[in-house]
Amino acid sequence: MAFTPIVDKEKCVGCEECVDVCPAEVFEMVDGKSDPVNAEECMGCESCVEVCEADAIIIEED
């Protein structure tokens, strides 16, 4: 099972909560928006999805 975090930059409000909560350090802020630069490190815990009040993150599973 592989997990791919995807950020909808139209929805992201730049709160950085996902950066803080992710145990795998997947996200970095780029131009004020969250970017899953280390997406391959995602382990599918969905903590970022739960913390994002803008509903800007989805985790794809394949």
Backbone angles phi, psi at 54, to 5 degrees: -90, 0
Q: Closest CB to ligand SF4 among 2 and 23?
A: 23
Residues that bind ligand SF4 (CB under 6 A): 3, 5, 7, 12-18, 21-24, 26, 34, 42-48, 51-52, 54, 56-57, 59
In angstroms and rounded to an integer, the radius of gyration of the C-alpha atoms of the chain is: 10
| Minimum separation from the CB atom of position 20 to ligand SF4 (A) | 9
Amino acid at 4: T
| Minimum separation from the CB atom of position 31 to ligand SF4 (A) | 12
Q: What residues pair up with 5 in beta bridges, in sequence order?
A: 59
